[in-house]
Structure 1
């Protein structure tokens, strides 16, 4: 039996539609050709907390967790541990997957086409010490044509270990930074007020950017400056010329703006009587505008915010719906702005479908 493990039920449903369901079970579907399809709900496993790595003699709080102590920091796990997420549905699904793994002859990793999708299934296989042959199902869209191509072009899962390690490195780096610095700063600066000082790889620098921008706006002081323009017209048309100060010009601030009103008036009075000008050099530059690439998630979120006022989450939910339910978009949770080469031959059919609707 070949066991297909999808990242989420919607992917499993799309795979089952092409394989052909024979019998539905609790948390899995039996399909034609000796195939069984099961699924996850995103990550079913999570990193163990710091309590799993601190000494057993650390005093425990009323809530059952170990107290935070500076002497236990920094915490660097020598062997990383994973726990099943504390959710009844997750626990039930993991038991189903474990049972199916014992019956399977081979496994297919059907995680989403990114680093987290790769890790999500691989970590389950490692958690249950599965040593059976594993293939990788990789598609960037859930339309029938893409699914069929993916089913026919399975690759060895070992080819994607770099992606798994990248996701694992990100996860563990987040843990090391967040857990250690949150505890260190809370114990040193938040203990008296009993205040948690949370630190995160993404949230902390982002918060710093927002705080710095807010401080700049709060302390901003408007400084008036002067711009000298001249309307120039000749045989071939007209244009507006801007006065550009020399390096030795008086009355400029540190940013090269003319802020001295007396100097500005003197220059204006000096230039006003001038009736003629000489164009000393001109330059014509040919430029090319490349065709627009497919949206990355960040770009489409910015575009939707500017045009329609959508929040980032609203845009993501919409893109996810177009990908999973309507099969009208490629995988949205990616910064990649290129479609896979395997879809190139489908372009005429896609364009024809768009033209009809």
Structure 2
């Protein structure tokens, strides 16, 4: 039997439709030519909690969890553990895949075409210690033509080991930073949970910094200098741009905020009667006709007008 493991039910149904459905079971679809298609619900497995790596003699809370102690940090797992997700549907589907693997002669990883899609099927195969040959089904769309093309070009799953390892490295980096730093900051702070994350913390910092700048914004007047010119009766407007050594600019070197310097500059430039074009560039551009409105486009346009 050949077993396809898709990342989600919708992809499994699309694959089964092209293979030819001959029957359905609880968590899988039977197809012609002794092929079975099953699916995950995203990641069915997750990283074990720090309790799994800490000594058993650590005191426990009333809920049976090991208490947080600064002397136990940092936690660096020597052998990483994966556990089935606690959701009932995830555990049930994982069990279905395990039973199907026992009868499979060949397996096809039909995860999404990215790092996470590669990992979430591979980690299921590792969980059940699958030893069958594994092929890789790789498509970026689930229309019938793309599915047929992918089925005709199944590759060797081992060729995608780098993507699997990249996703696993990202996951473990998240765990190491989040688990260790969240515990360290919480224990040091003493005012409730302080969650730290590889992505959420720098993102929150950027939002907080921007919010601080907005709340403490002080308007500063600046000068924008333009000149109305003409060449052979063809008028055009030129905008003054500061040089690298221009004085009186803001911290970013864009705006002229020293009004005295600006007024002196305007007075000097206003005496000039001619200008020399040092360089000019003309570009021919092509503009496609606008696309028909989508629902989102209509809502955006309506919000602007009404």
In structure 2, relative to structure 1, the CA distance for the partners of 1:82 and 1:290 (3 Å cut) is farther
d(CA) in 2 for partners of 1:108 and 1:2?
A: 8
Cα-Cα RMSD: 2.6
Aligned to 2:304: none
Q: Pairwise mapping of residues 206-355 of structure 1 onto structure 2 (< 5 A)?
A: 206-243=203-240, 255=253, 257-269=255-267, 271-272=269-270, 274=271, 276-277=273-274, 279-287=275-283, 308=300
CA distance in 1, matches of 2:249, 2:283: 34
Q: Deviations over 1:254-277 (max 9, x none)?
A: 5364444455445545554x3721
TM-score (norm 2): 0.87
1:187 is matched with 187
**Structure 2 segments unaligned to the other structure (5+ residues):** 289-295, 302-306
Write the deviation string for residues 22-59 of structure 1: whole angstroms up to 9, x where unpaired.
Answer: 22111112211011111111111111000000111111
Q: Does residue 80 of structure 1 match 2:80?
A: yes
Instruction: Find the counterpart in structure 1 of residue 102 from structure 2.
Output: 102
Matched, 1:160 2:148: no
Partners of 1:186 and 1:199 in 2: how far apart? 9
What SS does structure 2 have at the residue aligned with 1:121? helix
Which residue pairs with 2:293 in the alignment?
A: none
- Aligned match for 2:201, one of 192, 201, 204: 204
DSSP-derived class of the 1:196 partner = coil
Partner-residue secondary structure (3-state), 2:145: helix
Change in CA separation of 1:288 and 1:74 when aligned onto 2, cut-off 3 Å: farther
Q: CA deviation at 1:101?
A: 0.6
Q: Which moved more, 1:115-124 or 1:281-290?
A: 281-290
Runs of 4+ in 1 over 3 A off after TM superposition: 241-272, 286-292
| Partner-residue secondary structure (3-state), 1:112 | coil
C-alpha distance 282-88 of structure 1, shift in aligned 2 (>3 A): same
* Aligned CA distance change for structure 1 residues 67 and 291 (closer, same or farther; 3 Å): farther
Structure 2 counterpart SS, 1:33: coil
Counterpart position of 2:70: 70
- 1:144 — aligned with what? 144
Structure 1 window deviating more from structure 2 (167-176 vs 84-93): it is: 84-93
2:113 maps to which residue? 113
- Whole-angstrom distance in 2 between the partners of 1:256 and 1:8: 50
- Corresponding position of 1:61: 61
Q: Mind listing any 5+ residue stretches in structure 1 that lack a counterpart?
A: 293-303, 310-357
SS in 2 for 1:167: helix
Distance 1:134 1:261, change over 3 A: closer
Output the TM-score relative to the length of structure 1. Answer: 0.75
User: Which deviations, in whole Å up to 9, do the C-alpha atoms of 1:242-296 show, x marking residues without a partner?
Assistant: 4456677665555364444455445545554x3721x32332335476999xxxx
SS of the equivalent of 2:149 reads helix
Secondary structure of the residue aligned to 2:220 is coil
| C-alpha distance in structure 1 between counterparts of 2:148 and 2:217, whole Å | 59
